[in-house]
Amino acid sequence: MGAVTDDEVIQRRLLINGDGAGDDRRINCLLKSFITWCHSPHGAAEEGFTQYQKMLATLAQCEFSMGKTLMVYNMNLREMENYEKIYKNVEENITSAHEKISECKKEIQGAKRIVKNRQEYDGLAKVIRQHPDRHETLKQLAALDKELQHLSNINDNVDAKLELRKKQFHMLLITIQELQQTLENDEKLDNDEGLQEAPMDTSGECHEKSDSNENNKEDPMENGECVAELH
């Protein structure tokens, strides 16, 4: 049998002592009684038997205390295993709670983003409602395009008429100049003829003057007719 260490002795003494109800003292008394019983004389059989019964009773008490201590020890082991399981469950629950908290944070961020987008959408909707709708805007644009086309046509017509009036006025100026030139030429011819026909009588001169005046009166009318034709 190998040497027993101090730790084993202390462990056995604690195991035997149990909850500290005097088991160690009982073992010491049992050892003393056993030594006394062994050294007792053989003639005192009744006294030896009584001592033997006491030793058996003390040994039964020690065995009972040892069994109780073993039961408490096993119960403690089972409790430790149970606590380990509870600890693992608590750790798993904590990990699951952290994961749920992370998911909730993500959901909160998403909800904040949705609320922000909804607020921006409401603001844009208010701005859009302040303006006419697309159909009405297209109708207004079509009406403005039509009016612009009409004004452009009027502008083109006015430009064309203005150009025509410029040409007509230019032709009128040319005609007036030609008429003036013709009148000047006629006057020169009349003067030349008057100088050549100086010996003629006064009545003939008067007649020629009256004819010249009539010709001068007819020229403006012809001028007016030309202007009317240009218009």
pLDDT tens-digit profile of 178-212? 999 999 888 888 887 777 766 554 445 544 544 54
Which tens digits make up the pLDDT trace of 104-134?
999 999 999 999 999 999 988 888 888 777 7
pLDDT at 14 (0 to 100): 62
Pairwise CA distance, residues 67 & 15, whole Å: 10
Q: How far is CA 46 from CA 39, 43, 119, in A?
A: 15, 9, 106
Residue that is written with structure tokens 């205390």 in the block: 65
pTM across the whole model = 0.35
- Taking the C-alpha atoms of residue 18 and residue 24, their distance in angstroms, rounded to an integer, is 9
What's the CA gap between 122 and 116, in Å, rounded? 10
Over residues 153-164, the pLDDT tens digits come to 999 999 999 999
| DSSP category for residue 3 | P
Q: Give the helix, strand, coil percentages of the chain, each rounded to 5.
A: 90, 0, 10
* The pLDDT of residue 230 is above 50: no
% pLDDT > 70, the chain: 70
* pLDDT tier at 227, thresholds 50, 70, 90: very low
